[in-house]
Structure 1
């Protein structure tokens, strides 16, 4: 191994995340749209998990569940899925507009629930759902799958182990082309919060995840480009004040009209720095690894699927009777953060308390 490279073993970080002991959990999927059939269902199939039932009011969606995924128990009404005795886990994959009624019905039936992000866009609704799950004694979590993307999973461990010391800065720069590539999308192209809410429910959550801290206040501004397609502004800069000497930043554009897209994340601590993307590359420079910049070597390393990761932690939490890593209770801090960002941007850029 060259002096400019370092292995995960040398860093004492683990690329693998825990998996549940049981593989035959009966998962009932409420909503079988693009994210369910394109990401969740294929990931569960690769993990060897059972999709016990699907509920969706759309007949084409139900047909896909039956014919492409072999799901035999298919319903048009989520209430029938919740009542199905083969369903132990309710996997809620709809837009937030139908979150609360499904969560409350599942909790009343004693079924554990994990929901797509964002959990909600109304903190009071979120509190009601969390309270209902707590009173019913069911586990309730959120699919923040970006936490289980390979480099994000490793970055959290590096920070937790103190390898780069106490963080004072964490930042994300993301340049994409979704304003071009998703032009005409039935939801994203017409919503008014594409970056502040639909995207920052991921990115703001990552800042919380890596650092283990919650922002106290945020300052966010958004902008547009000539000829932009989306209703929502597609250029965002956001400053997060965590207090205690920790600052976070998000610079995000979905306006790129070239092939020069990508993401770079950075965490600086008082003993070193970590620079990485989401999937394939990580560099570290710190006292613990010696002088210079070291490239982390992933030769022979197999990483798990991020959609498996979020469900795996949830199932492990149910088995171990513990709170999930992304419990709905904890995730309310992410909700409050991205809503504060949206409000700050709406005001044209002002500090907003979280």
Structure 2
């Protein structure tokens, strides 16, 4: 390979760790059209970002994202920061002619998303939102089966994303619980994923009717040592107001006539990262459970009456039979959460070489945000809202 793509990554905690692993692994397992160089990792805390550099295998560390974005040595900007900085960094990166991978949700609101889409279109740079769950082999297989017409006309999309990490009222007021930084709570954090999967698998939303609720109104402020910890932090004695939702639910209609029922919560005790999806059509149904992510359940209504029932599709068959898994292990040797990021990075790298954005693009991020805002508006007005 003649060309090398040099990556600058802004942010280094949970998603920074997942992305770093993916940047390292993708060239070893996928037939990429360019070499990859982990050039610079960037964060606000010099000591912590240097520790991350050593741990994750980056060449350089920086505390100045603008310097990274404008560096002539960087080809790709990977944004893993809190949501309130996505737009500023991405727009600057586009102006600097960098290809951009950005964590979800794309931005705080539709206005920022519009500005980001305009910036990448004007600069003609490759852009992608990191909705990694699209590249779970079982989800990609579901997409293939739906497009082939295996389920017939789609009637229902039912999805639940449940976690429990903020049930404890003593858990501190991290940035994900502050609207000014996150945009919304559970809604933008995890509901965004199953909204994106609904758009990917079924189609565009037409209208929604939502409910959003906050169970714990005040939480301890973080102490000095817990600053910016995200999913884990130390709490102090002073209290602060929670300004986002703890749970978000909505029903809706797709433009193609299918109906939707989505629930996202971070108050489901026992659920650490539970994603469950069922799609019902005129010819059959699909069911997916992320806690058993290498399996897709399929009900085929064309089977004889004495052999009806959901059957398992173990999506680990290589040789092009099932998406992505042929680059990993022999059939039956399952893969995990981290592989979804590797698949995302692999597709993004090849897109950068080809100069053509790959789904989900910033335009997808904008469409997701329109649904998020419509649900929020609906919850406030207590009425149906068009997307």
> Do the structures match in fold with TM over 0.5?
yes
Aligned partners of 1:123 and 1:332 also within 8 Å: yes
Q: Secondary structure at the match of 2:332?
A: coil
Question: Residue 159 in 1 paired to residue 191 in 2?
Answer: no
Alignment partner, residue 205 of structure 2: 215
Separation in structure 2 between the aligned mates of residue 25 and residue 83 of structure 1, nearest angstrom = 15
1:143-201: CA deviations, max 9, x gaps? 11121123322221221121111212111133431223792251234448322222222
Q: Which deviates further from its counterpart, 213-222 or 240-249? A: 240-249
* Partner of residue 176 from structure 2, selected from 188, 194, 197: 188
Pair 1:257-2:264 in alignment: no
Structure 2 spans left out of the alignment, 5+ residues: 28-35, 220-240, 316-330
- Aligned partner of 1:330 among 329, 342, 364: 364
State the match for 2:19 in structure 1. 40
Distance, in Å, in 2 between the alignment partners of 1:160 and 1:342 is 31
Q: Are 1:141 and 2:135 an aligned pair?
A: no
Deviations 1:307-351 (A, max 9, x none): 12222222222222323111102321111001111222233x321
Q: Shift of residue 88 of structure 1?
A: 0.9
Task: Work out the CA distance in 1 between the residues paired with 2:248 and 2:77.
Answer: 34
Structure 1: stretches of 5+ with no match in the other structure: 1-20
**Do residues 168 (structure 1) and 147 (structure 2) align?**
no
Q: 1:295 aligns with which of 312, 335, 342?
A: 312
Q: Report if the CA contact (8 A) 1:313-1:325 is conserved.
A: no
- Bigger drift between 40-49 and 214-223 goes to 40-49
Instruction: Within 5 Å, give how 1:1-354 maps onto structure 2.
Output: 24-37=4-17, 39-48=18-27, 49-180=36-167, 183-184=171-172, 186-191=174-179, 193-211=184-202, 213-223=203-213, 231=242, 232-258=244-270, 262-278=274-290, 279-287=293-301, 291-292=307-308, 293-298=310-315, 300=332, 302-303=334-335, 305-347=339-381, 349-354=382-387
1:260 Cα offset (Å): 9.6
Q: How many residues align?
A: 331
Shift of 1:288: 5.5
- Check conservation: 2:126, 2:357, Cα contact below 8 A: yes
TM-score between both structures, scaled by the size of structure 2: 0.77
- 1:22/1:54 Cα in 2 relative to 1: closer, same or farther (>3 Å)? farther
Tell me, in whole angstroms, the C-alpha distance in 1 between the residues paired with 2:15 and 2:67. 22
Separation in 2, partners of 1:33, 1:99 = 15
Say which SS state the counterpart of residue 108 (structure 2) adopts. Answer: coil
Superposed displacement of residue 102, structure 1: 1.9
Question: Could you say if the C-alpha distance between residues 23 and 188 of structure 1 is closer, same or farther in structure 2, counting changes exceeding 3 Å?
Answer: farther
Conserved in 1, the CA contact under 8 Å of 2:104 and 2:365? no
| TM-score relative to the length of structure 1 | 0.84
Which residue does the alignment assign to 2:328? Answer: none
Distance of 1:93 and 1:233 partners within structure 2: 22
The Cα RMSD (Å) is: 2.7
Q: 1:131 to 1:60 in 2, by over 3 A?
A: same
Following superposition, the deviation at residue 271 of structure 1 comes to 0.7
